[in-house]
Chain A
Amino acid sequence: MRKSTLMVTSLVAASALTVAWNTGQQTLNNEILLMPTDNASPAPTDPATTDPGATATAEPTAPATDPAATDPAPTQGATKAPTATPTQTPTQTPTTPAAPVAPPAPVTATVSSDPITYKYGTVQISMTTVDGAITEIKMLQGDATNGRAAAYTTLINATIQQQGTNYGNISGATFTVDAFKKAVDNAMAKF
């Protein structure tokens, strides 16, 4: 290749790479991680609305229980009764025990979710709540291919922080994130 052509090509390539990298960084700021959406407006719990880019692919493995389509609430169906209406408080209502009296010993409960099988593996969690607040999540099953399992630590922290699944996606681990959210919702429904 002639020197002049090489120089022009390198310049164009370098600028294209820079632009692409910048675009990528903005994806990070705008979409990806776990922006703690403000509690007053918990509506966009459906991942599809929070991260149009990353979840654009239709979820081919969506299990039959998928309720998200019409329900603005987090993804539980009929079984959500025990929890206070999650549309208003994504947190578990800690008020079920008669609180006003002398504070009793905190109520600790642990449940396991159903195993959620998806494209890259199976996710099953155990969730521990203290007085209804999520305090601990353990992975009972968390195999996922190609390093997607790396997402779990982040997802656990995010779930505890948000007391629910009101957070976005992790680029490159979309299916894993969705499966994890399903497991969390499933566990929360069992309390």
Chain B
Amino acid sequence: MPEIKNNVVIIGPGKLLRLERKRDAVEILGIIALLLPTLAFLANGGLAGVTDAAGWFNAFNRLTALVGTSLLLIHMVLVARVPWLERTLGLDKLTHAHKRLGKPLLYLLLIHTITALISYSISDGVNIITTLINLVGGYLELLLAAVGLLLMIVVVISSINAARRKLSYEAWYLIHLVSYLAIFASIPHQFTLGTEFLAEPLVAGYFIALYVFVGLNVVWFRFLFPIVQSLALSLRVTTVRPEANRTTSIVIGGKAVESLGAEAGQFFMLRVLTAKQWWRPHPFSVSASPSDTIRFTVGARGDDTILLQETKPGTRVILEGPFGVFSESKRTKQHVLLLAAGIGVAPIRALAESLASDPGDVTVVYRVTDRSDASLLDEVERICRERNHTLHVLDGPRPNGPGFLPRQQPGEQIAPEYARLLALAPFAAESDIYICGPSAWSNAAVQALKKLNVPKASIHVEEFAW
């Protein structure tokens, strides 16, 4: 039994301000990246002397190309898993932003393509189809760009919600890899035909620098670093132990695992190096305060997670991470409320174990369907007992409508969920609140907390849906 250590953590309004400033700084960086090329375009006379339709279309074509390129680079950096962004915003927020930007980015590139075709077809006095054929047929780099655009359309379509539901994660992942190809295909025409790139060495230099910067970040952090690190630490599965409710704990050991720097509440991308699984990484939260081993507790949710449960001890793994800001790094209050449902208990358990606290500071609410079959329940109970956390294990059927607490029993006084939550956790309104569970459940909990006027910055949600 590892000794439970009480961490020291900085809290208070000053920390909140610092965290907010950091986040703002990152967002401003993104805005600047979009603004700079626009400024260069305008200052270079991009809209000056534009009077006729062809001129306007051409101006739009050039502007959307510049802004689209910048957005594409932002789009890539968002999923490059670079620590300097991840530590500030968290991987889930970055992924969300990446997802939200996908469609606008495609629209920009489509506008760029269409306005280019229109302006060229006006000035040449031929129809658009002829223009398209002339351009794509006459310039190899434009043919490549057209192929790239088609690939991007495929990637975006495969990522819209309707398609995501029909595709398996693996199929979607493979299609998504194609986007790197699409980006490469689109690069040549920017440098050989791009007006701004050719006329202004500064603009060209700026974009080359950006491409190199983003490219290096992607290659290093997304691909090389996890491999190098995991091989250097010689990470392997050491134990596989079945837990309640068809969940399994997998322990990873190796040399100097502490150097991964994981905190409770964070997660890793786990890649098990077997012939069947090596190419499909999966995100798992650490389910115990990280020490010289990393433990995950995994639910049986799909083919791969079932396969994981059969992993033999000694199998090499690649860990990518740690990721997430679902940790004490974002804590600013003395009181903490931990809300867990189902397998969401994994990071909550780790937090309960390692949060700096005095007796009574931490309240744990664990929502289960069946108390006798709740994953890690005995561990949670032990930790709460030893560390004097308040623990509420709530079992029972789901409510009829949306909600995160069990259905009220007949005879029980009818009360809204926020009131019932307040009865369980009187400090809720002045706590940092960590929520982990299925997204519908988490949303219901967040709604209740909003009714209690809990500031947004105090609500930390870790979603298990990707």
Chain A residues with a Cβ under 8 A of chain B: 1-2, 5, 9, 13, 16-17, 19-21, 23-25, 27-28, 31-33, 53-54, 56-57, 120, 143, 145-150, 152, 170-175
Contact of A1 among B24, B43, B48, B138 (CB under 8 A): B24
Indicate if the CB atoms of A9 and B31 lie closer than 8 Å.
Answer: yes
Contact of A57 among B31, B48, B134, B201 (CB under 8 A): B201
Q: For the complex, what is the distance from the CA of A56 to the CA of B48, rounded to whole Å? A: 18
Indicate if the CB atoms of B120 and A147 lie closer than 8 Å.
Answer: yes
Q: For the complex, what is the distance from the CA of A115 to the CA of B23, rounded to whole Å? A: 57
Residues of B contacting A53 in the complex (Cβ-Cβ under 8 angstroms): 44-45
> B56 to chain A: closest CB distance in Å?
10
Indicate if the CB atoms of A146 and B42 lie closer than 8 Å.
Answer: no
Q: For the complex, what is the distance from the CA of A15 to the CA of B238, rounded to whole Å? A: 60
Contact of A28 among B24, B41, B45 (CB under 8 A): B45
Residues of B contacting A152 in the complex (Cβ-Cβ under 8 angstroms): 123
> Which partner residue on chain B sits nearest A175 by CB separation?
B198
Mask: chain B, 3-38; 1 = CB below 8 Å from A; 0 = not: 000000000000000001001100110010001001
Q: For the complex, what is the distance from the CA of A114 to the CA of B62, rounded to whole Å? A: 31
> A72 to chain B: closest CB distance in Å?
25
Residues of A contacting B62 in the complex (Cβ-Cβ under 8 angstroms): 172
Judge whether B447 is part of the interface by a CB distance below 8 angstroms: no
Judge whether B403 is part of the interface by a CB distance below 8 angstroms: no
> A33 to chain B: closest CB distance in Å?
6
Indicate if the CB atoms of B28 and A9 lie closer than 8 Å.
Answer: yes
Judge whether B54 is part of the interface by a CB distance below 8 angstroms: yes
Asked whether A28 and B48 contact (CB < 8 A) given A146-B193, A172-B195, the answer is: yes
Q: For the complex, what is the distance from the CA of A126 to the CA of B122, rounded to whole Å? A: 22
Judge whether B179 is part of the interface by a CB distance below 8 angstroms: no
Instruction: List 8 additional contacts besides A19-B43, A28-B48; criterion CB under 8 Å.
Output: A1-B24, A20-B42, A33-B49, A57-B199, A143-B124, A145-B120, A146-B195, A150-B54
> Which partner residue on chain B sits nearest A16 by CB separation?
B39
Residues of B contacting A5 in the complex (Cβ-Cβ under 8 angstroms): 24, 28
Chain B residues with a Cβ under 8 A of chain A: 20, 23-24, 27-28, 31, 35, 38-49, 52, 54-55, 57-58, 61-62, 116, 119-120, 122-124, 134-135, 138-139, 142, 193, 195, 198-201
Residues of B contacting A175 in the complex (Cβ-Cβ under 8 angstroms): 198
Output the residue of B43, B44, B138, B198 with the most chain A CB within 10 A: B43
> B339 to chain A: closest CB distance in Å?
26
Indicate if the CB atoms of A13 and B55 lie closer than 8 Å.
Answer: no
Asked whether A171 and B116 contact (CB < 8 A) given A27-B44, A57-B199, the answer is: no
Indicate if the CB atoms of A28 and B49 lie closer than 8 Å.
Answer: yes
Output the residue of B28, B116, B138 with the most chain A CB within 10 A: B28
Residues of B contacting A148 in the complex (Cβ-Cβ under 8 angstroms): 123, 195
Q: For the complex, what is the distance from the CA of A96 to the CA of B275, rounded to whole Å? A: 88
Residues of A contacting B43 in the complex (Cβ-Cβ under 8 angstroms): 19-21, 23-24, 27
Residues of B contacting A25 in the complex (Cβ-Cβ under 8 angstroms): 45, 48
Indicate if the CB atoms of A20 and B39 lie closer than 8 Å.
Answer: yes
A selection of 14 A-B contacts at a CB cut-off of 8 Å is A9-B28, A20-B39, A23-B42, A27-B44, A28-B45, A53-B45, A120-B193, A147-B54, A147-B61, A148-B195, A149-B123, A171-B46, A173-B195, A174-B199
Contact of B45 among A2, A13, A27, A120 (CB under 8 A): A27
Residues of A contacting B27 in the complex (Cβ-Cβ under 8 angstroms): 1
Q: Give the 3 A-B CB pairs with smallest separation, nearest first.
A: A28-B48, A150-B123, A27-B45
Contact of B35 among A1, A16, A23 (CB under 8 A): A16
Contact of A172 among B35, B40, B199 (CB under 8 A): B199
Contact of B116 among A13, A57, A146 (CB under 8 A): A146
